[in-house]
Amino acid sequence: MPFDAPAESANNPVLVEVTRGGAVESRHRGAFAVVDTDGRVVLSAGRVAAPVFPRSAIKPIQALPLIESGAADAFALSDAELAIACASHNGEPDQVEAVTGWLARLGLGAGDLACGGHAPKHEPSARALARAGQAWDGRHDNCSGKHTGFLTLARQLGAPTRGYVGFAHPVQQRVLGVLEQMTGLDDLTAQPRGIDGCGIPTIALPLGNLALAMARFGAADDQPERRQAACRRLRHALAAQPRMIAGTDRLDSAIAQALGPRCLAKTGAEGVYGAALPELGLGLALKIDDGAGRAAEVALLRLLTRLQLLDGAAGDALAGHANPAVTARDGRTVGEIRPAANFPGLGE
Nearer to a copy of itself, 252 or 289 (CB): 289
Site string for a copy of itself, 82-121 (x = CB under 8 A): --------------------------------xxxxxx--
Among 36, 68, 92, 141, binds a copy of itself (CB under 8 A): 141
Handedness of CA 57, 226, 234, 302 (dihedral sign): positive
Among 6, 111, 133, 347, binds a copy of itself (CB under 8 A): 133
CB of residue 271 to a copy of itself, shortest distance in Å: 7
Query: Is residue 65 within the footprint of a copy of itself (CB under 8 A)?
Result: no
Query: Is residue 295 within the footprint of a copy of itself (CB under 8 A)?
Result: yes
Query: Is residue 274 within the footprint of a copy of itself (CB under 8 A)?
Result: no
Nearer to a copy of itself, 47 or 174 (CB): 47
Query: Is residue 315 within the footprint of a copy of itself (CB under 8 A)?
Result: no
Which parts of 197-216 interact with a copy of itself (CB under 8 A)?
A: 197-199, 202, 204
Residue 151 CA to residue 113 CA, distance in Å, equals 8
Among 130, 160, 279, 320, binds a copy of itself (CB under 8 A): 130
Query: Is residue 271 within the footprint of a copy of itself (CB under 8 A)?
Result: yes
Q: Whats the size of the chain, residue-wise? A: 348
**Among 90-98, 230-238, 248-256, 328-336, the segment contacting a copy of itself (CB under 8 A):** 328-336
Q: Which of 332, 294, 344 is nearest to 20 (CA)?
A: 332
CB of residue 149 to a copy of itself, shortest distance in Å: 17
Q: Which of 341, 337, 340 is nearest to 324 (CA)?
A: 337
Work out the widest C-alpha separation in the chain, in whole angstroms.
61
Query: Is residue 163 within the footprint of a copy of itself (CB under 8 A)?
Result: no
CB of residue 332 to a copy of itself, shortest distance in Å: 6
Q: What is the CA radius of gyration of the chain?
A: 19
Residue 314 CA to residue 254 CA, distance in Å, equals 9
Query: Is residue 252 within the footprint of a copy of itself (CB under 8 A)?
Result: no
Query: Is residue 38 within the footprint of a copy of itself (CB under 8 A)?
Result: no
Query: Is residue 33 within the footprint of a copy of itself (CB under 8 A)?
Result: no
Which parts of 171-200 interact with a copy of itself (CB under 8 A)?
A: 192-199
Q: Which of 50, 56, 116 is nearest to 293 (CA)?
A: 56
Whether 112 contacts 103, CB under 8 Å: yes
Which residues, other chains included, contact 179 with Cβ-Cβ below 8 Å and sequence gap of 6+?
Answer: 58, 61, 62, 185, 188, 203, 213
Q: Which of 293, 215, 322, 286 is nearest to 13 (CA)?
A: 286
Residue 289 CA to residue 273 CA, distance in Å, equals 12
Q: How far is CA 127 from the centre of its chain?
A: 26
In one-letter notation, the amino acid at residue 204 is A
Query: Is residue 20 within the footprint of a copy of itself (CB under 8 A)?
Result: yes
Nearer to a copy of itself, 92 or 141 (CB): 141
Residue 283 CA to residue 218 CA, distance in Å, equals 7
Residue 168 CA to residue 343 CA, distance in Å, equals 42
Contact residues toward a copy of itself (CB under 8 A) are 11, 18, 20-23, 25-29, 51-53, 114-119, 123, 127, 130-131, 133, 141, 192-199, 202, 204, 270-271, 289-292, 295, 328-332, 334-335
